[in-house]
Structure 1
Amino acid sequence: MVIMLIGNKRGATGALLVYDITRRDTFNQMTTWLEDARQHCNSNMVIMLIGNKSDLESRREVKKEEGEAFAREHGLVFMETSAKTAANVEEAFINTAKEIYEKIQEGER
């Protein structure tokens, strides 16, 4: 599980919360990691929830629908990626940047 901040800690404009779709324990920790990110960083930052290792479908323990539901419930952007094959990795950063830009344009940042 990884939290990557975009910007410095207090002034972060975005964060990527990454869990391993083949390890349920990493997904189960997302609530705690999300609370930590929101408590210690900018409350208006864009947070993307990423389910990684989508190339390992046969070992999947966390359904895509579970990630989507968690993201929807907590107002996060969601996608699945594979660092191994690079599937959706660039898109994750681009989509996060777009969301940040939209918030800036709306005056939320």
Structure 2
Amino acid sequence: MGHQYTRRTYDEAQELAQELFREQVKDHFSTEEIADLKARGTVSGGVGGFDNWEEHLGFTPDRRLHYDYTVFIPAEERPHFERIYAQILVSRDRSKGVVSVRWKPENPPSQNSND
């Protein structure tokens, strides 16, 4: 029996993103990187970070139709990422899966704290 709703919840989309990441992590990272990620990594996401998908996909995803997840090592200061391991774009539509994964994307530039 399928879901009565056509849109995925935040938690369902995050689970899908994490599942895909776990399945493919060994294809993209060294043993040392995986150990570092297991020790210090975190996942954050939802509706942020859409601006940097345009170069990768050729379009900017609609926030109402997608969730964006980032797997990263947190930093003490801005931009709050010591290292980004992956960004995962998941459709909110249950009939679609993960839209795209950016492995080892560049960290966002540091911002002046006076902004």
Question: What is the TM-score when the length of structure 2 is the normalising length?
Answer: 0.25
Higher radius of gyration, 1 or 2: 2
More strand by percentage: 2
> Which is helix-richer, 1 or 2?
1
TM-score (norm 1): 0.25
